């Protein structure tokens, strides 16, 4: 059985608390790992190691040397991709066919991309006239922010963690990562790769544990942490913001969503159905960018519902190793209970259950896992909780609309503002509608198509700030203006 220790100052160490917690397989419910729970003292050691590393060899490396190390790291992850794949699917239960093309390669790419980008980071320059008839020159420089606290979720563990660690290290920072308690494996494994490629000790540290009164809280409260980057639930973001307020640490938050898909009657329905299938059911619906509300123009409503139903009913459910499996389990029994409570609530609120709504049976060990059926509802009012709250499961509600303005108003009628997918073959309509959706990311005729140089993040309650490309570099650096009087 895997045992996950903390990774502090380049070494795997047990937690001083002496406490461990179980990691269970989402596929069978069996205990597959034991995880050391960091206490305040362990977190303090990790943060101090990260602080000290800023003044070690890492702090004096040239940008080129740092970028080369991160390229090596990216290659080393790719070389050990089968090991990372096994670790990731054991923790999450997601199909290997998905993790092999998304999670692991993106984990490697997050280092290579920002290694390239940091080499081209420019600066600003101003010549300023002065009253004595001479002038001054002003130029801007970027410095690392310092020690970055990274708090990551369980849905895309390696991908979302490295999405933060990649640019943070590229900018010369050091990090202390607190992965989700549900997915400790790949973050721990990455420590080995850091050592193997020669990243100096103390640059990358890992503390395991939970949020409140545990490693997450201790890390985000630590006075030597200079910036906090977090991906997770909106309510957790609020708690972290309170914890980070003392000492005024900068925060970058990627939070929850209740994303709308809009399908116009002029859409290519094949593409719209295929895209919505992925956006509603990929990763068992546990994608922050996923579509939980679908609005379909009335002339194609019935056909769209019928085709999405057929798609959902054709999905094969099962564990990671079966090549035919299209959907794995939810992450944990606790999360399954939450999702099932929404399945029940939808019926209580008067939904028509088009398909699903329950738990599949297999007649084997998977019956002890965390599977739920892919589920589609219609007929709920806009005020219902199921239409307003993030479920984070393989489900969506489909409602009809009659006009473009109505579709936009429905899409925007939410506290969240992360992502939206618009399906139309009318290019003018696409450009007219997309800017009016109050979200950080709009896809037209696609979903989850990502260029890592673009801004990523949410508005309203879906986030604070943007990461991606220069936006990541902005968050992970401090800017100094140097003014030289001539």
Query: Which run of H or of E encompasses 404?
Result: helix 404-412
Q: Which of 216, 218, 194, 217 is nearest to 205 (CA)?
A: 194
- How far apart CA 176 and CA 9 sit, in angstroms, is 10
Binding of ligand NAD at residue 50 (CB under 6 A)? no
Coil vs helix vs strand at 86 = helix
- How far apart CA 204 and CA 186 sit, in angstroms, is 13
Binding of ligand NAD at residue 232 (CB under 6 A)? yes
Structure tokens at 237: 């973001």
Q: What angle do CA 40, 44, 45 make, to 5 degrees?
A: 120
Instruction: Build a one-symbol-per-residue string for 390-419: x at contacts with ligand NAD by CB under 6 A, - elsewhere.
Output: x-x-------------------------x-
- Contacting range for ligand NAD; rule: CB under 6 A; set: 26-34, 237-245, 348-356, 396-404: 237-245
- Contacting range for ligand NAD; rule: CB under 6 A; set: 70-78, 211-219, 259-267, 309-317: 211-219
Burial of residue 317, with CB atoms counted within 10 A of its CB: 0-12 exposed, 13-18 middle, 19 or more buried: buried
Q: Which is nearer to ligand NAD, 235 or 431 (CB)?
A: 235
Estimate to the nearest angstrom the gap between the alpha carbon of 47 and the chain centroid.
Answer: 23
Q: Which is nearer to ligand NAD, 104 or 273 (CB)?
A: 104
Q: Which is nearer to ligand NAD, 288 or 411 (CB)?
A: 288
Active site (annotated) includes residue 30: no
Binding of ligand NAD at residue 389 (CB under 6 A)? no
Q: How far is the CB of 215 from ligand NAD (least distance, A)?
A: 8
> Where would I find the beta strands (DSSP E) of 198-306?
204-206, 227-231, 250-254, 259-263, 291-297
Q: Which is nearer to ligand NAD, 184 or 200 (CB)?
A: 184
Q: Taking CB under 6 A as the criterion, which residues in 264-303 touch ligand NAD?
A: 288
Binding of ligand NAD at residue 439 (CB under 6 A)? no
Binding of ligand NAD at residue 146 (CB under 6 A)? no
Sign of the alpha-carbon torsion through 256, 262, 268, 269: positive
Q: Which of 157, 311, 463, 469 binds ligand NAD (CB under 6 A)?
A: 463
Chain position carrying tokens 């000790």: 201
Binding of ligand NAD at residue 349 (CB under 6 A)? no
Tell me the CA distances in angstroms from 144 to 4, 86, 168, 170, 171, one per residue in order. 30, 34, 8, 9, 6
Helix axes 63-79, 185-197, angle to 10 degrees: 130
Tell me the CA distances in angstroms from 264 to 49, 224, 267, 295, 424, one per residue in order. 54, 51, 5, 8, 5
Beta carbons of 229 and 168 less than 8 angstroms apart: yes
Q: What number of chain residues touch ligand NAD (CB under 6 A)?
A: 33
- Contacting range for ligand NAD; rule: CB under 6 A; set: 17-25, 87-95, 113-121, 239-247: 239-247
Q: Which of 217, 226, 292, 297 binds ligand NAD (CB under 6 A)?
A: 217
Beta carbons of 237 and 230 less than 8 angstroms apart: yes
Binding of ligand NAD at residue 329 (CB under 6 A)? no
Binding of ligand NAD at residue 211 (CB under 6 A)? yes
Instruction: Build a one-symbol-per-residue string for 246-265: x at contacts with ligand NAD by CB under 6 A, - elsewhere.
Output: --------xxxx--------
Q: Which of 144, 184, 458, 468 binds ligand NAD (CB under 6 A)?
A: 458
Q: Which is nearer to ligand NAD, 67 or 391 (CB)?
A: 391
Q: Which is nearer to ligand NAD, 191 or 200 (CB)?
A: 191
Strands 147-151 and 227-231: parallel
Beta carbons of 16 and 42 less than 8 angstroms apart: yes
Nearest residue to the partner ligand NAD, using Cβ? 211
Q: Which is nearer to ligand NAD, 115 or 439 (CB)?
A: 439
Q: Which is nearer to ligand NAD, 285 or 369 (CB)?
A: 285
Q: Which of 154, 264, 342, 476 binds ligand NAD (CB under 6 A)?
A: 154
Estimate to the nearest angstrom the gap between the alpha carbon of 381 and the chain centroid.
Answer: 30
Instruction: Build a one-symbol-per-residue string for 163-182: x at contacts with ligand NAD by CB under 6 A, - elsewhere.
Output: ---------------x-xx-
Query: Which run of H or of E encompasses 405?
Result: helix 404-412
Q: How many Cα neighbours within 13 Å face the side chain of 96?
A: 14
Q: Which of 12, 21, 210, 448 binds ligand NAD (CB under 6 A)?
A: 210
Q: Which is nearer to ligand NAD, 72 or 254 (CB)?
A: 254
Of 217, 254, 297, 390, catalytic: 254
Binding of ligand NAD at residue 231 (CB under 6 A)? yes
Binding of ligand NAD at residue 98 (CB under 6 A)? no
Coil vs helix vs strand at 478 = strand
Binding of ligand NAD at residue 220 (CB under 6 A)? yes
If one counts every other C-beta atom within 10 angstroms of the C-beta of residue 132, the result is 7
Q: What angle do CA 78, 175, 87 make, to 5 degrees?
A: 35
Catalytic residues: 254
Residues found near ligand NAD in the complex (CB under 6 A): 151-155, 160, 178, 180-181, 210-212, 216-217, 220, 231-233, 236, 239-240, 243, 254-257, 288, 390, 392, 418, 458, 462-463
């Amino acid at each position: 059985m895997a045992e996950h220790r903390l990774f502090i100052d380049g070494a795997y160490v047990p937690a001083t608390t002496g406490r461990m917690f179980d990691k269970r397989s989402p596929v069978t419910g069996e205990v597959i790992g034991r995880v050391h729970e960091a206490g305040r003292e362990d977190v303090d050691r990790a943060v101090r190691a990260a602080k000290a590393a800023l003044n070690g060899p890492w702090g004096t490396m040239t940008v080129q040397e740092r970028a080369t190390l991160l390229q090596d790291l990216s290659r080393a992850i790719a070389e050990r991709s089968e090991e990372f794949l096994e670790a990731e699917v054991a923790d999450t239960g997601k199909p290997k066919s998905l993790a092999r093309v998304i999670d692991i390669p993106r984990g490697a790419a997050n280092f290579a991309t920002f290694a390239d980008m940091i080499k081209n980071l420019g600066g600003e320059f101003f010549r300023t006239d002065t009253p004595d008839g001479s002038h001054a020159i002003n130029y801007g420089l970027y410095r690392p922010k310092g020690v970055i606290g990274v708090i990551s979720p369980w849905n895309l563990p390696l991908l979302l963690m490295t999405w933060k660690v990649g640019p943070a290290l590229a900018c010369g920072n050091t990090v202390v990562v607190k992965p989700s308690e549900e997915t400790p494996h790949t973050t721990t494994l990455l420590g080995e790769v850091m050592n193997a490629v020669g990243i100096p000790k103390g640059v990358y540290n890992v503390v395991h544990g939970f949020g409140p009164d545990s490693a997450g809280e201790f890390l985000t409260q630590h006075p030597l942490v200079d910036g906090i980057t977090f991906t997770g639930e909106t309510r957790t973001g609020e708690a972290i913001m309170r914890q980070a307020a003392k000492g005024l640490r900068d925060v970058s938050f990627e939070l929850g969503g209740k994303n709308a898909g809009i399908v116009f009657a002029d859409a290519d329905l094949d593409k719209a159905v295929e895209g919505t299938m992925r956006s509603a059911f990929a990763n068992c619906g546990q994608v922050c960018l996923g579509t939980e509300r679908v609005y379909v123009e009335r002339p194609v409503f019935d056909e769209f519902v019928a085709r999405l139903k057929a798609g959902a009913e054709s999905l094969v459910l099962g564990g990671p190793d079966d090549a035919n499996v299209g959907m794995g389990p939810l992450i944990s029994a606790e999360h399954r209970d939450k999702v099932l409570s929404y399945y029940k609530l939808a019926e209580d609120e008067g939904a028509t259950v088009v398909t699903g709504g329950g738990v599949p049976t297999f007649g084997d060990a998977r019956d002890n896992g965390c599977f739920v059926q892919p589920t589609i509802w219609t007929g709920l009012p806009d005020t219902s909780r199921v239409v307003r709250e993030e479920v984070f499961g393989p489900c969506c509600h489909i409602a009809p609309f009659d006009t473009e303005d109505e579709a936009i108003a429905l899409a925007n009628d939410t506290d969240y503002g992360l992502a939206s997918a618009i399906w139309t073959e009318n290019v003018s309509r696409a450009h007219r509608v997309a800017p009016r959706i109050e979200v950080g990311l709009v896809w037209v005729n696609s979903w989850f198509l990502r260029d890592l140089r673009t801004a990523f993040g949410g508005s309203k309650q879906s986030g604070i700030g943007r990461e991606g490309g220069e936006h990541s570099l902005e968050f992970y650096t401090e800017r100094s203006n140097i003014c030289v009087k001539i």
